[in-house]
């Protein structure tokens, strides 16, 4: 029998992400009942869209599911210390995003959609990956670039 490393299993990574979203969802809706098994704690309901801060740091995520980009009221998205290599251009849908933390990820290029985030104030990036590409990032956004 072949053993599979859990951190390399995309299904389990996404399941963990859904669980993390559920925890955030519960902290913002005290009066709501806990998520049901049928929706695994994640739905595209209006309650989920109203989440303002999402901390998915150090969760061993290989990718960011597009469902995150349906959270149109999201203001802070923390993805630092994950092996994510690509940020979807769907990031442009998160129009209220103010802070995006990508430090410690494997992302080496930002999508054009970043330029459509007019409320973005800060982008956190890894120093060694971005020190030579800052001019390109500055062309995409007027946000403050914080190298970590």
pLDDT band with cut points at 50, 70 and 90 for residue 29: very low
Q: Of 56, 46, 43, 51, which Cα lies nearest the Cα of 25?
A: 51
Domain limits of the chain? 6-147
Give the distance between the most distant pair of CA atoms in the chain: 52
Tens digits of residue pLDDT in 78-99: 999 999 999 999 999 999 999 9
Pick the CATH number of 6-147 from 3.80.10.10, 3.90.550.10, 3.40.50.360, 1.10.3720.10: 3.80.10.10
Tens digits of residue pLDDT in 50-59: 899 999 999 9
pLDDT score, position 21 = 60
pLDDT band with cut points at 50, 70 and 90 for residue 14: low
Task: Please check the confidence at residue 42 and state whether its pLDDT lies above 50.
Answer: no
Tens digits of residue pLDDT in 110-130: 999 999 999 999 999 987 777
Backbone φ, ψ for residue 147 (5° rounding): -95, 130
Task: Please check the confidence at residue 7 and state whether its pLDDT lies above 50.
Answer: no
């Amino acid at each position: 029998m072949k053993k599979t490393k859990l951190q390399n299993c995309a299904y389990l990574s996404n399941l963990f992400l859904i669980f993390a979203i559920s925890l955030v969802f519960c902290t913002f809706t005290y009066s709501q009942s806990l998520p049901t098994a049928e929706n695994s704690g994640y739905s595209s309901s209006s309650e989920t869209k109203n989440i303002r801060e999402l901390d998915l740091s150090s969760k061993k995520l290989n990718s960011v599911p597009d469902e995150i980009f349906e959270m149109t009221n999201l203001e802070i998205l923390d993805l630092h210390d994950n092996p994510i290599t690509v940020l979807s251009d769907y990031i442009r849908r998160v129009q209220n995003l103010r802070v995006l933390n990508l430090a410690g990820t494997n992302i080496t290029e930002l999508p054009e959609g970043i330029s459509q985030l007019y409320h973005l104030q800060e982008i956190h990036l890894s120093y060694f990956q971005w020190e030579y590409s800052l001019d390109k990032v500055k062309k995409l956004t007027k946000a403050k670039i914080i190298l970590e």
